[in-house]
Amino acid sequence: MFFLVCFDIVDNRVRYRVVKILKGYGTRVQKSVFECANMTEYKFMKMQSDLEEIIDHGEDTIRYYPLCKHCLGQVEFSGTGNPPNTRAYSVL
């Protein structure tokens, strides 16, 4: 599975911890956006649980967008960066 994870975290310390967790699961493509590939259901649930434990649910937001193989192949962007490398992993 492939997920795009976006976040808006108010506290700098919590934001640093969120980034540290997400770096263990994916690639940072923007300051608050990660592409997480090769996610099994267990890995996704673990990542989500780890993140949910540290955020302030009254002020912070984390969004998890699953992308199918077809959608992933349609990703467009402008400026710097690279499209997701669909050959490096399988997308269900």
Beta-carbon contacts of residue 91 (< 8 Å; ≥ 6 apart) = 1, 2, 37, 67, 68, 69, 72
Q: What is the mean pLDDT of residues 61-76?
A: 84
Which tokens in the block code for residue 82?
């690279």
In a domain, 53, yes or no: yes
In a domain, 81, yes or no: no
pLDDT one-digit tens code per residue, 12-41: 999 999 999 999 999 999 999 999 998 999
The residue range of the domain holding 36 is 2-73
Residue 41 vs residues 36, 47, 59, 67, 79: alpha-carbon distances, Å:
12, 10, 27, 14, 32
Question: Is the model's pLDDT at 92 over the cut of 50?
Answer: no
In a domain, 79, yes or no: no
**Can you give the pTM of this predicted structure?**
0.83
How many domains, in total, are found in the chain? Answer: 1
- Of residues 6 and 77, the one with the higher pLDDT is 6
